[in-house]
Amino acid sequence: MTERENFLIAYNHGKPEWTPNFFDAYHPVGSRLLNNNGEPMKGGRDMFGVNWLVTPDTGYQAIADPGEHLFDDVTRWQESVQFPDLDAMDWESAAASDLEGVDRKEKIVAFFGIEGNYLRLQSMMGICETLAAMIEEPEAVYSFFDAYTDFKIRSIKKVARYYKPDVYVDGDDVCYSTGLFFSPELYKHLIKPFEMRAGKAVLDCGMILEHHLCGKCEELIPDIIERGATVWQTAQSMNDLAGIQRQYGDRLLIHGGWDSYGPHNHDNATEEQVRSEVRRCINEYGLQGNYAMFPVMIGDPADGSLRKKREWVSDECHRYRF
């Protein structure tokens, strides 16, 4: 049985032969035409002119440069934002290059889409400024989100046509470890309508919609399902994942479970600590089905110890049966 076949059993609410694991079952891809946050693992300017930083201090994750903004007044965003011409791009050649070496029979091809609306706006004008703008200038924020969603939907259609992924990963990190960054009312007014539109575009193109959302976000699970998502990553452990499985397990695959704060994430984590976390996840979430592991391990991909930890996770997922 291939990793792809095993994952699809879990996705279709069956009992897989082993616990699916993101790093085994998925082949993540992106498009070189959509410069979302600079050069992978290096950062730099994206397609809108925002500068991204990738350093050891960021865990080698790209973050928008807090020292500069594309604009400061959201009511004048049109003066600073120019949407790239997607029709002028050579999608056929880019897809052929980006998909080189992809084995569709062995793995799930998952396309990771561009930033969500909230993350995109904060990359352009800063985190605090974006939160203030959502309260003080909701009409202007709505206008930007509307235009950006139009652009995103055009990109989704290009991806579906030329990359033909099984899964399209879309979402927006609107939560942190204890809840939403802003009020539920602002979410319903400024975020959800555009997530619904983008979700419909993904489904209309025949792709599985996987919603990315970190942090404590269990109150948004009904909204995630309403937009058509049938997979949720990274499903962090500060949420009542077992309860969510019991309530929504026939509609949503939990892709996550990993405790991002435990000792198994430390640089000097032992093999037993890593394997123990794998077993905990399987015992708590894998037994109920509709589950795949997403071990959130942040660090330098060139670091041999990080690769070794992922190997331990993979081996334990295959070895520890339920």
Which pLDDT score, from 0 to 100, does residue 119 have? Answer: 97
Q: Find the mean pLDDT for residues 34-47.
A: 93
Q: Find the mean pLDDT for residues 110-135.
A: 97
Which pLDDT score, from 0 to 100, does residue 57 have? Answer: 83
Helix 127-136, helix 117-125: angle, nearest 10: 110
264 three-class SS: helix
User: How many domains is the chain built from?
Assistant: 1
| CATH code (residue 18) | 3.20.20.210
Residue 288 pLDDT grade (very low, low, confident, very high; cuts 50, 70, 90) = confident
Which neighbouring-strand residues pair with 5? none
Neighbour tally for 254: CB within 10 Å: 28
Domain of 137, in residue numbers: 3-319
Contacts of 164 (CB under 8 A, 6+ apart): 109
Percent residues over pLDDT 90 in the chain: 89
Residue 228 pLDDT grade (very low, low, confident, very high; cuts 50, 70, 90) = very high
Which pLDDT score, from 0 to 100, does residue 238 have? Answer: 96
Which pLDDT score, from 0 to 100, does residue 242 have? Answer: 94
Residue 106: its H or E element: none
- The Cα 272–Cα 269 span in angstroms is 8
322 pLDDT above the threshold of 80: no
Q: Residue 268 in contact with residue 249, Cβ under 8 Å?
A: no
Q: Residue 258 in contact with residue 294, Cβ under 8 Å?
A: yes
CA-closest candidate to residue 208, choices 236, 177, 232, 189:
232
Which pLDDT score, from 0 to 100, does residue 253 have? Answer: 97
